[in-house]
Amino acid sequence: MSGQNRNDISPGTKVSIVLKADQRTGKLTEGIVKDLLTKSSFHPHGIKVRLTDGQVGRVKEIHSV
Instruction: Give how far Cα 9 sits from Cα of 18, 24, 52, 64, Å.
Output: 15, 24, 14, 11
Tens place of pLDDT per residue across the chain (65 aa): 789 999 999 999 999 999 999 999 999 999 999 999 999 999 999 999 999 999 999 999 999 76
- Residues contacting residue 39 through CB under 8 Å, at least 6 positions apart: none
Residues across the chain:
65
Output the pTM of the full model: 0.92
pLDDT at 65: 61
Domains of the chain: 6-62 (2.30.30)
Instruction: Quote the CA–CA distance of 49 and 12 in Å, as a whole number.
Output: 11
pLDDT at 2: 86
